[in-house]
């Protein structure tokens, strides 16, 4: 099986400072892949560059298409979608309008089924569908951002720190839903600081440090790795909730 997303030897620079140096990764169909690493390792930068928000040097292909000449809007049309760290919702518009705009490029009939699917996945959004996005709680905003991205029927969903600033019970909910996406045929590339939770649902993982991948493998192997446990999983034992 060929890779859905293939990133080869990518460099990303802010001015003269290289934030990401020679990174390669791939995500296959129906796979959940996570990138874990400390704050400032370059994870968000990498996702933004794959989406086209930032320029990169190197090669990225998605579903066999070279991404280099495409801008953000064209990349969305190929089935690539990003839920950004700051969610970037339309705060003064209501939940339903936000979701509807998520299907901006999709035919109306298809969008109606997507909307039902999103409401099944996130019943909370259905309850709040007439509420303004800016007045939602942090967890609901994260759900809305994910729902909006799913409305575009993406093949690959890139999630940037979905657990950031959320209560543990909501985090568990979000991660459960991310796990369910696979059943719906959506691959996931997940960037997380909450390494323990991410490793539990992922198939494979990359560990990022100072702009480079220092380790990669199956999520199980990475979770069992002593260095990773010490650096990213803290002193927590299995079964303890991650905060």
Report the nearest approach of another protein to the CB of residue 38 (Å).
Answer: 25
Which segment (10-18, 29-37, 76-84, 116-124) binds another protein by CB under 8 A?
Answer: 76-84
* Choices 4-12, 19-27, 31-39, 149-157 (CB under 8 A): range interacting with another protein: 149-157
Determine if 92 is a binding residue for another protein (CB under 8 A). Answer: yes
Total count of residues recorded for the chain:
243
Smallest gap from Cβ 199 to another protein, in A, equals 27
Show the 3-state SS of 34-80.
Answer: EEEECCCCCHHHHHHHHHCCCCCEEEEEECCEECCCCCHHHHHHCCE
Considering only 5-13, 85-93, 172-180, 202-210, which stretch makes contact with another protein by CB under 8 A?
Answer: 85-93
Run of H or E residues at 17: strand 17-27
77: contact with another protein by CB under 8 A: yes
Q: Does 82 bind another protein (CB under 8 A)?
A: yes
DSSP letter string, 180-217: HHGGGT-EEEEEES-HHHHHHH-SEEEEEETTEEEEEE
By CB under 8 A, name the one of 84, 139, 162, 211 that touches another protein.
84
**φ, ψ for residue 161 (rounded to 5)?**
50, 60
Q: At 219, list the tokens.
A: 């999520």
Closest CA to 159 of 237, 82, 75, 80: 82
Q: Which is nearer to another protein, 76 or 199 (CB)?
A: 76
Residues of the shown chain interacting with another protein in the complex, contacts defined by CB under 8 A: 51, 53, 69-70, 72-73, 76-77, 81-82, 84, 87-93, 97, 100-102, 104-105, 148-149, 151-152
């Amino acid at each position: 099986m060929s890779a859905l997303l293939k990133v080869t030897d990518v460099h990303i620079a802010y001015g003269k400072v290289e934030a990401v140096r020679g990174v390669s990764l791939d995500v296959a169909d129906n796979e959940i892949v996570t990138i874990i690493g400390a704050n400032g390792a370059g994870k968000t930068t990498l996702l933004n560059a794959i989406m086209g928000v930032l320029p990169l040097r190197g090669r990225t292909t998605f579903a066999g298409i070279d991404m280099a000449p495409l801008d953000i809007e064209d990349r969305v049309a190929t089935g690539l979608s990003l839920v950004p760290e700051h969610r970037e919702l339309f705060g003064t518009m209501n939940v339903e309008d936000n979701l509807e705009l998520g299907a901006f490029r999709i035919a109306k009939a298809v969008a109606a089924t997507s909307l039902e699917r999103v409401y099944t996945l996130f019943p909370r959004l259905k309850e709040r569908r007439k509420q303004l996005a800016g007045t939602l709680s942090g967890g609901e905003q994260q759900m809305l951002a994910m729902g909006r991205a799913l409305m575009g029927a993406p093949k690959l969903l890139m999630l940037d720190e979905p657990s950031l600033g959320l209560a543990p019970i909501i985090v568990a909910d979000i991660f459960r839903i991310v796990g369910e996406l696979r059943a719906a045929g959506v691959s996931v590339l997940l960037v997380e600081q909450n390494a323990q939770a991410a490793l539990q649902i992922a198939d494979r993982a990359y560990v990022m440090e100072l702009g480079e991948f220092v380790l990669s493998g199956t999520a199980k192997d990475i979770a069992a790795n002593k260095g990773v446990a010490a650096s990213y999983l803290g002193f927590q034992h299995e079964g303890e909730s991650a905060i």
